Chains A and B, each alone.
Chain A
Amino acid sequence: MKVTFKDVTLSYDGKKDTLKHLNFQIPDGTLVSLLGPSGGGKTTTLNLISGLLPATSGHIYFGDEDVTKKDALARKVGMVFQNYSLYPHLTVRDNIAFPLKMQKVKKAERYKRAEELAKLVHVDDQLDKKPGGLSGGQQQRVAIARALAKSPSLLLLDEPLSNLDARLRIEMRQEIRRIQQETGVTTIFVTHDQDEALHISDNIMVLAQGTIQQFSTPTVLYERPANLFVAKFIGEPVINTLPADALKADLVSSVPASILAQAKTAGIRSEAIVPFDNGQEMVAKIHAGLKQARKYGREATANLAYNGETLLSTEMAGLPASQTDGDFFLTKAGFFLFDEKGALIFGGDAHDE
């Protein structure tokens, strides 16, 4: 089901706006991540969608229906909480069947459905256990099955993986993606982990300080960040940033003077600094000192000293170990200039539609 926010604002205390004039549309059948730093308003946004919180102003639509005034009971969305919130006194079977029991579905029928869902999330061998006897990953799966039990047209997950260890997190995010694709349910997934969001989503909404920083596909987010915040938040390792002034002399031939005049900050992805002209479109050739070169398997990284700044590159394979300085190239892909307000003014063109 399509979800639309029209100028939605939320204030907890009537003074400060926690969410400011949100406008967005989540297309039917997609998996969208809400990504942002802690305190950015992700949970608040999710609670507005679920109906646990009423909007202070603005309108929320499910499909074409205005649900702004409806509460959580009436909106009928499925939700998975950060700490799973399973009912400790019920077995896995009864936990999954609980939403159906609330709908007065007959026992045989709801148990049949619970068993189907348990199969879908791979906990069908745990049906008679209580949640206390399950591992974190299993509880997570049960929580997802329970949220899917009433066949919601919308599934909300609030940082569902943050309590799991690293390996399980990767496994579970693939599971969530699989389940979403098998059921086709429109899913909104909250996370503060950019890697998780990049791997799982059709679209990512970056939320910080109560406003949408950017809402687009993972590729666009990475290759054409709308502002400095997004550029820094997305990508591992973190993008190199330096004052544009430090770089201007090397950019005059490739960047129009009018843009250069406004540029405040330059952002260079670590894979955009290469030691050889490899035929890609380049924006600059820079001379830099080479320090701390390291090799990890196939990857070779190095810190470059340039005009008093340090730049990290991950493309340093093939350089002789003895080299102490040299000329390096900056590829156009992965090179950005931002103005005083942090807005993107140069770079990311390859993905202009």
Chain B
Amino acid sequence: MGMVRYIANKFFYMIVSLFVLISATFFLMKAIPGDPFTSEKAVPPEIKAHLYEQYGLDKPLYHQYFKYLGDIAQGDLGVSMKRLNQDVTHLIGQTFSASLKLGVVAIIVSVIVGVILGMLAALYHRKFIDSAAMVLAVLGIAVPSFVVASLLQYVFAYKFSIFPVSGFKGPMYYFLPVAALSAQPIAFIARLTRSSMLEVLHADYIKTAKAKGLSWMAILSRHVLRNGILPIVTYMGPMTANIVTGSVVIEQIFGIGGIGKQFVEAISVRDYTLIMGITIFYGILLMVARFITDIAYVLVDPRIKLTGGKEG
């Protein structure tokens, strides 16, 4: 019962936030001086009136607003302002696969490397490995991803030519962008894993497991790791946000034709419908990721008790 209410509550928040974001894009777009048909060339008033009618710009504002909401609900994000007759939804769909591949690989790499680093640091607490891993983690959190990306590109692509400088044509093209994208999530996950594993290692049930004579490997895999990586679930939402926003810059640096690169280009030519479309797309993606995180968090950890509908 509590679970259903909790999920419904989170779902409600997600929908309201999405609605606020979509409304904001609409009204901000209306706040921009001029309209899509303002151009240097003088257009005869009849043609302009016809264009307005075709795109519904002659209707009152509330009418346009509800039409906009209805279109988005059907997955129609409008037409690009700068590229003739190109659907925004279509443009996003074209570039989505590259970003998706890059993002998924980055998430997998972040979790695996982060957990291993954090685990090693916890097992060798206060030893060299621990300090080294934590220095790496602090660096990973503090050094901006674009600095990491540029350095990697300079050293491994330009100086030593181990990996290609830019493009996205095969497995070799993944290494550098993925490394740059996952640097920060790895650092966060390593820190989370380390502190939670340190806590678990001192828990009573580990002593019990030792006392009943379980092998160290069994204790590690069955008790320590399972409980130690729980907090990572809470980080899944922020990590998605981190990797999505990171990809905007990383795709630019490595010349990968994903949504991020398209976003930057749209901003530089002020293609407002495309900017708003990608913003809404990113918004939906990240809010759904957050929603799933919130749900997964309570599902995974049975110790969390839901108290009615009120969350703290």
* Bound together: no
Q: Please give the residue numbers on chain A whose beta carbons come within 8 Å of chain B beta carbons, in ascending order.
A: none
Q: Please give the residue numbers on chain B whose beta carbons come within 8 Å of chain A beta carbons, in ascending order.
A: none
